[in-house]
Amino acid sequence: MEVMEKITQAIQSNPVILFMKGTPEFPQCGFSSRASQAISACGAEFAYVNVLAEPDVRENLHRYADWPTFPQLYIKGELVGGCDIIMELYENGELQKMIDEAS
């Protein structure tokens, strides 16, 4: 499967998906750690892709939504943003609403 198809399928198949460095249990960067903790704190089950273990995804994901950094959160197929946006949404309660609507 071509990498862009792989990315599209992952995003469309999961209501909430986080492209991150590492895993939620063992994040490999502080930003990925904070983002996955905020999503988990909302009580969400979410899919994730460890971009360190998927170099083709890591090299091409920025082309999918024109977002250059990791982590990247997608809810219902739409890019929400990276760590700073995720944390802002979490702190003001919007992330919880978005995740609840996606479930």
Of all residues in the chain, what percent carry a pLDDT higher than 70? 99
User: What pLDDT is attached to residue 29?
Assistant: 96
Cα–Cα–Cα angle for 73, 5, 17, rounded to 5 degrees: 20
**Residue range 28-65, pLDDT digits in tens:** 999 999 999 999 999 989 999 999 999 999 999 999 98
Instruction: Assign a CATH topology to domain 3-80.
Output: Glutaredoxin (3.40.30)
Tell me what the pLDDT averaged over the chain comes to: 96
Binding-site positions: 21, 29, 58, 70, 83-84
CA dist 54 to 3, 41, 60, 87, 103, Å? 10, 26, 10, 25, 26
User: What pLDDT is attached to residue 51?
Assistant: 97
Binding-site positions for [2Fe-2S] cluster: 29
Binding-site positions for glutathione: 21, 58, 70, 83-84
Structural domain spans, the chain: 3-80
Give CA torsion, residues 55, 57, 60, 62, to 10 deg.
-110
Judged against a pLDDT cut of 90, whether residue 90 lies above it is answered with yes
Query: How confident is the model over 80-97, as a mean pLDDT?
Result: 98
Transcribe 29-66 into DSSP letters: SHHHHHHHHHHHHTT---EEEETTT-HHHHHHHHHHHT
